[in-house]
Amino acid sequence: MKYSIVNNVKHPPFKGGVGICACCGNETVAKCGNFKVHHWAHKSRKHCDPWWENEGEWHRLWKSYFPVESQEIIFKQPETNEKHIADVYIKQTVIEFQSYSIKEDEARIRESFYNNMVWVVDGCKSEFDKIYFHQSVYTPHTDDVYLRKLRWVGRGKILAKWSKSTKPVFIDFGTDLVWHLLQFDPKTKHGLVKAIPKEDFVNSFGGKYT
């Protein structure tokens, strides 16, 4: 995690730091090594959010566009006491940044847990997907300059997989744009995507793209 509670405030990790996890209330220790992104780790993760994954630079960068008070927000299901940490919660919307591969059924469970949410997916986990994506898109004859049709030429399943989402999906292929996946038919491999400048995307949620 990027934040733990230290002296009652949300605190980033610092050398030798000890804090309290805002989700489970257990002790966390700051990890400020040279190789991994600095983070807080639990001594025991047993009672904390099983959905939580270690974050890389991509994940951290995206979170940093949003105010600290909107990052790592705990959601609790009142009946079951199930708790999860949303990456960002702002303007009554959860934004989940997904860099590792998530199983489809797990993705659907998260969508129903958070309900009002969008996904931002790291499209650069496989170096081929982004190459194939840019080979697949073409401009339809419309007035909307940001709209692209596509015929997927790649072997990767990134579009097929995320087309099953019940919530909006925005894919980051490592440029200054995110691609809103509007339609994709896994059988014909035809689809429709819309380019959104990252700055506009972040601003629309009240964040700041820097």
Q: Closer CB to Zn ion, residue 48 or residue 102?
A: 48
151-170 residues near Zn ion, rule: CB under 5 A: none
Is residue 118 near Zn ion by the rule CB under 5 A? Answer: no
**Least gap, CB of 181 to Zn ion (angstroms):** 32
Selected range binding Zn ion among 2-10, 13-21, 59-67, 133-141, rule: CB under 5 A: 13-21
- SS3 state at 11: strand
C-alpha distances out from residue 148 to 40, 139, 160, 165, 207, Å: 41, 5, 17, 20, 26
**Least gap, CB of 1 to Zn ion (angstroms):** 8
**Least gap, CB of 189 to Zn ion (angstroms):** 42
**3-state class percentages of the chain: helix first, strand second, coil last, to nearest 5:** 20, 35, 45
Backbone angles phi, psi at 77, to 5 degrees: -85, 115
Selected range binding Zn ion among 32-40, 48-56, 132-140, 184-192, rule: CB under 5 A: 48-56
Is residue 48 near Zn ion by the rule CB under 5 A? Answer: yes
How far is residue 53's CA from residue 30's CA, in Å, rounded to a whole number? 16
165 touches 139 (CB < 8 A)? no
Give the residue from 182, 176, 180 showing the smallest Cα distance to 199.
176
Is residue 21 near Zn ion by the rule CB under 5 A? Answer: yes
Position among 6, 23, 137, 159 found at the interface with Zn ion (CB under 5 A): 23
**Least gap, CB of 87 to Zn ion (angstroms):** 15
**Least gap, CB of 120 to Zn ion (angstroms):** 23
**Least gap, CB of 26 to Zn ion (angstroms):** 5
Q: Closer CB to Zn ion, residue 23 or residue 86?
A: 23
- Supply the DSSP string of 145-200, one letter for each residue: TTEEEEE--SS--HHHHHTT-SS-EEEE-SSSEEEEEEEE-TTT-EEEEEEEEHHH
Is residue 24 near Zn ion by the rule CB under 5 A? Answer: yes
- SS3 state at 107: helix
Which residues are at the interface with Zn ion (CB under 5 A)? 21, 23-24, 48
